[in-house]
Each structure stands twice: as C-alpha cells, then as structure tokens.
C-alpha cells in the first residue's frame, strides 16, 4: 500500500453519462472521495461519452467513476472505454461503474475494461478501499 501522501494525490472524475437525471449517488461518492483525500472532479449531468473521455484525458485522472442508472450502460460505457483507448488512456485509468447494472451485463463490461461495478447498497468505505488498492501508481 502506498503512503498517505500518494493516496491524497489520487485524481478521480465522477461522471454522469447519458440522459440519466439522478445524481444523488454521484454526489455522495464525490463527497466521500473528497473526504478520503482524493482530488475529485464532478462532470455534472447529461454528459455524452465523448465529453467524459475528454474530461478524463484533459484532467489526467487516475480513476473514472461512471454513475449510470438509466439502463443504457451496455451502449454508453463501451463508448467511453473505446474513447479512452483511442487516447491511450485506458491502460492507466481505473474505471469503475456504479448504479443499477444487472448481474448478467457485468461480465461484458468487465471484459471491456471496467475494473469494478458497485451496485445500490455498496458501502462507501468499500468503494474507497477499492480505489486505494487499485488506483494506478503515478
């Protein structure tokens, strides 16, 4: 495990993709990440996959947390993963997904490079621990 100072420099983008207008969970995670000492950027609502990719690349984030409740995860998340790959950022970005993602869709998302999927009821501590243990070394 890395030192406290290195942990504090973990840069995270919490992103809402698509037309999903429910952002309470994204705000809860963004606040918890901030409280854990991470640098947090919040995308705001209704972002296109391309906008999220641009923000992740421009902000040079270590972690991209995608919050999606709309059911469009199977089309929107692959577009984000493809975009990260185009910019050469897929390998060194820890991509997480949170929200309502059915069990039967999870293996496909993980095959595309999503490191973890956190469903409703996941403890914030579990998510923070996962990021600390898996965020790419700078």
CATH number of 18-131: 3.40.50.280
**How far apart (Å, rounded) are the C-alpha atoms in residues 52 and 84?**
9
Q: What is the mean pLDDT of residues 6-19?
A: 84
Q: 32-78 pLDDT, tens per residue?
A: 999 999 999 999 999 999 999 999 999 999 999 999 988 899 999 99
From the list 105, 138, 135, 136, the residue with the least C-alpha distance to 33 is 135
Lookup: tokens for 62: 């270590």
Distance CA 75, CA 57 (A): 20
So what's the pLDDT on residue 20? 82
The pLDDT value given to residue 21: 84
Sorted by where each begins, the domain ranges of the chain are 18-131
Say yes or no to pLDDT of 6 above 90.
no
- pLDDT for 43 equals 95
Phi, psi dihedral angles at 46 (to 5 degrees): 60, 45
Work out the burial of residue 50: count CB atoms within 10 Å of its CB; fewer than 13 is exposed, 13-18 middle, 19 or more buried.
Answer: exposed
How sure is the predictor about 2, in pLDDT bands with cuts at 50, 70 and 90? Answer: very low
Q: Closest Cα to residue 123, out of 2, 3, 19, 32?
A: 32
Hunting for tokens 């640098």 — which residue is that? 39
- pLDDT beyond 70 at 106: yes
Q: Is the pLDDT of residue 5 over 50?
A: no
């Amino acid at each position: 495990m890395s030192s406290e100072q290195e942990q504090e420099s973990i840069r995270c983008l919490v992103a809402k993709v698509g037309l999903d207008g429910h952002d309470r969970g994204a705000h809860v995670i963004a606040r918890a990440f901030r409280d854990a000492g991470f640098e947090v950027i919040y995308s705001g609502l209704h972002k296109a996959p391309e906008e999220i990719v641009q923000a992740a690349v421009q902000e040079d984030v270590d972690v991209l947390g995608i919050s999606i409740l709309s059911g469009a995860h199977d089309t929107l998340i692959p577009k984000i993963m493809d975009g990260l790959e185009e910019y050469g950022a897929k390998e060194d970005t820890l991509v997480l997904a949170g929200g309502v993602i059915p069990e039967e869709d999870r293996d496909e998302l993980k095959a595309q490079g999503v490191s973890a999927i956190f469903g409703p009821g996941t403890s914030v501590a579990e998510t923070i621990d996962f990021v600390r243990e898996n965020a790419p070394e700078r």
